[in-house]
């Protein structure tokens, strides 16, 4: 009879929610944080694109359809099959 009460208490503690209110920030602080976050995401995306382009040029990875069309358009030339 005591076990269900303990399980209920454990369930309430283990749900990951805390009863703290969030720290209030100003609109300017939020915009600064958002600008930094977007800049970091853009930097990571640019680095990933640069690395993928290097890997494509080196032939280390398989091309997807769009990349294949951009780098080797002759693969999609069906003129030799026309009558």
pLDDT tens digits along 38-74: 999 999 999 999 999 999 889 898 989 888 888 888 8
Residue 59 and residue 83: Cα distance in Å, rounded? 35
pLDDT for residue 20 is more than 80: no
Residue 78 and residue 26: Cα distance in Å, rounded? 60
Of residues 56 and 7, which shows the higher confidence score?
A: 56
Of residues 12 and 28, which shows the higher confidence score?
A: 28
pLDDT for residue 18 is more than 90: no
pLDDT > 70: percent of the chain: 77
Contact (Cβ atoms closer than 8 angstroms) between residue 61 and residue 52: yes
């Amino acid at each position: 009879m005591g076990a269900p009460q303990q399980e209920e208490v454990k369930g309430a503690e283990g749900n990951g929610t805390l009863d703290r209110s969030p720290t209030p920030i100003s609109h300017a602080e939020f915009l600064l944080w958002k600008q930094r976050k977007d800049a970091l995401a853009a930097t990571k995306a640019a680095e990933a694109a640069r690395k993928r382009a290097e890997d494509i040029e080196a032939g280390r990875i398989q091309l997807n359809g769009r990349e294949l069309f951009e780098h080797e358009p002759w693969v999609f030339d069906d003129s030799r099959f026309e009558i």
